[in-house]
Amino acid sequence: MPEEVLVQAASEMLDWPDANGKRCGMGVMEMSHRGKEFTSICAHAESTLRSLLAVPAHFKILFMQGGGLAENAIVPMNLNALRAQPGQRGQTDFVVTGSWSQKSLQEAGKYSDTHLAASSQASGFTDIPDPASWEIRQGASYVHICSNETIHGVEFQALPDLKALGSDAALVVDFSSQVASRPVEWSRIGLAFGGAQKNLGPAGLTLVVVREDLLGHAMAICPSAFNYQTVAANGSMYNTPPTYAIYMAGLVFDWLQRQGGIAAMEVQNISKARALYQAIDSSGLYSNPVAAHCRSRMNVPFFLRTEALNDAFLSGAAAAGLLQLKGHKSVGGMRTSLYNAMPLTGVQALVAYMQEFERRHA
Ligand code: PMP
């Protein structure tokens, strides 16, 4: 979270001021979600996000709950039947480039006829298979990708153009850890979803952006609160939305605009990632296994030459105020997350620490 946003939220916690600075006598957590105060907060968050991400008018922005993992079920329940014959399970195709897309494939199997169109498992999820080699079925309703694999540090630098690959399927993108870090190629997307807790705000809010023509195809068993058409028709207020998380995300969107928007964030994110990869590649102690063309700007996993140094690295880092560097338990090593709120100076401090640690352990 940007510190500026936390300071603002703290100052507004007991008594929220409207856009003119007029206090309303209650905090955001105490408001009715249908009252005029919260309605204005939600509408402001949505319109600021639409303008920041340049979301075209024929896409709906939905504020939901359940996180990325719930969407792994909600997406197939809503979209698998797009191109299915009556009475048949729809076909859903997956490109697996790491743990998160793997989980999506597994979950969708409960609701649809899944198929692995491509996988980089053989490389240990250090690469993205060339889209020209993907085996997309002609009847597939959608193709799912994870545009940034948060654990393996593998990122699509451009979204695949399914039309150019000869497919009419909709592209579904899990952009949980990529959203708001760079511009989005909406013309290639049918639906994108992401948990808010990386670049958008606190956990509890899930963003779904869906092309209007994909609404209205949900399975009969789909819970009403998870039916995109119902959520859209009710302006994300079919049930009580995560009001405080939406408010906080709105403050983050305002902050992003003050930074110069997504284009400015992308420039900064490129600088941060470059500084860290350069430090890793020029060292004899650290390494990153991901192919250069798909290295993530947001999550940079790296490994020390010997595992035996991991504890010393982490405790020295913590003593220097550099926190949360331990790699995900499934891959080990270290992982640095360079989300929007992390300034370049934070990366520079990490690089200085890494270099000093390497000198000490040469
Ligand atoms: N997809 C991606 C790319 C993620 O990084 C995560 C969480 N780290 C998830 C899905 C799961 O999200 P949640 O915990 O919000 O369900």
Ligand 1 contact, 80 CB (< 6 A)? no
The tens digit of pLDDT for each residue in 247-263 reads 999 999 999 999 999 99
Same domain? 305 vs 232: no
How confident is the model over 167-193, as a mean pLDDT? Answer: 98
Q: What is the pLDDT of residue 59?
A: 98
Same domain? 44 vs 174: yes
Catalytic residue among 16, 60, 93, 100: 100
The tens digit of pLDDT for each residue in 115-149 reads 999 999 999 999 999 999 999 999 999 999 999 99
The tens digit of pLDDT for each residue in 310-354 reads 999 999 999 999 999 999 999 999 999 999 999 999 999 999 999
100 labelled catalytic: yes
Is pLDDT above 90 for 362?
A: no
Q: How far is the CA of 263 from the centre of ligand 1 (A)?
A: 24
Same domain? 250 vs 318: no
The tens digit of pLDDT for each residue in 92-103 reads 999 999 999 999
Ligand 1 contact, 195 CB (< 6 A)? yes
The tens digit of pLDDT for each residue in 18-32 reads 999 999 999 999 999
Ligand 1 contact, 114 CB (< 6 A)? no
Domain boundary among 258, 282, 297: 258
Label residues 77-115 b or e (16+ Cβ within 10 Å = b).
bbbbbbbbeeeebbbbbbbbbbbbbbbbbebbeebbbbb
The CATH number given to whatever domain includes residue 30 is 3.40.640.10
174 labelled catalytic: yes
Assess contact for 288 and 354: CB atoms under 8 A: no
Measured CA distances, 252 to 8, 200, 269 (Å): 10, 6, 16
Q: Which atom of ligand 1 is nearest to the CA of 66?
A: 16
Is pLDDT above 90 for 85?
A: no
Q: What is the pLDDT of residue 207?
A: 98
Q: What is the pLDDT of residue 290?
A: 98
Ligand 1 contact, 67 CB (< 6 A)? yes
The tens digit of pLDDT for each residue in 198-252 reads 999 999 999 999 999 999 999 999 999 999 999 999 999 999 999 999 999 999 9
Ligand 1 contact, 78 CB (< 6 A)? no
Q: What is the pLDDT of residue 86?
A: 81
- The alpha-helical segments, DSSP class H, found in the chain are 3-12, 36-52, 67-79, 99-108, 228-233, 243-258, 261-281, 310-319, 344-360
Q: Which atom of ligand 1 is nearest to the CA of 175?
A: 3
Ligand 1 contact, 174 CB (< 6 A)? yes
36 labelled catalytic: no
Q: Which of 290, 331, 284 is nearest to 305 (CA)?
A: 284
Identify which of 106, 150, 173 to mutate to test ligand 1's pocket (most ligand atoms within 8 A of the CB): 150
How confident is the model over 146-157, as a mean pLDDT? Answer: 98
The CATH number given to whatever domain includes residue 315 is 3.90.1150.10
Same domain? 287 vs 224: no
Q: What is the pLDDT of residue 67?
A: 97
Separation of alpha carbons 248 and 28, rounded Å: 10
Same domain? 35 vs 52: yes
How confident is the model over 39-62, as a mean pLDDT? Answer: 98
Question: Could you tell me the residue range of the domain that residue 187 belongs to?
Answer: 3-258
**Number of domains forming the structure of the chain:** 2
Q: What is the pTM of this model?
A: 0.98
Same domain? 310 vs 213: no
Neighbours of 30 (CB within 10 A): 14
Same domain? 225 vs 271: no
Assess contact for 311 and 361: CB atoms under 8 A: no
Q: What is the DSSP string of 9-61?
A: HHHHSSS-B-TTS-B-SS-GGGS-TTSHHHHHHHHHHHHHHHHHTT--TTEEE
Same domain? 21 vs 165: yes
Same domain? 297 vs 322: yes
Same domain? 166 vs 253: yes
132, with CB counted inside 10 A (0-12, 13-18, 19+), is exposed
Q: How far is the CA of 90 from the centre of ligand 1 (A)?
A: 24
Ligand 1 contact, 333 CB (< 6 A)? no
> Percentage of the chain surpassing pLDDT 90?
98
In the DSSP assignment, the letter for residue 155 is E
Same domain? 163 vs 216: yes
Is pLDDT above 90 for 300?
A: yes
Same domain? 253 vs 266: no
Q: Which atom of ligand 1 is nearest to the CA of 203?
A: 15
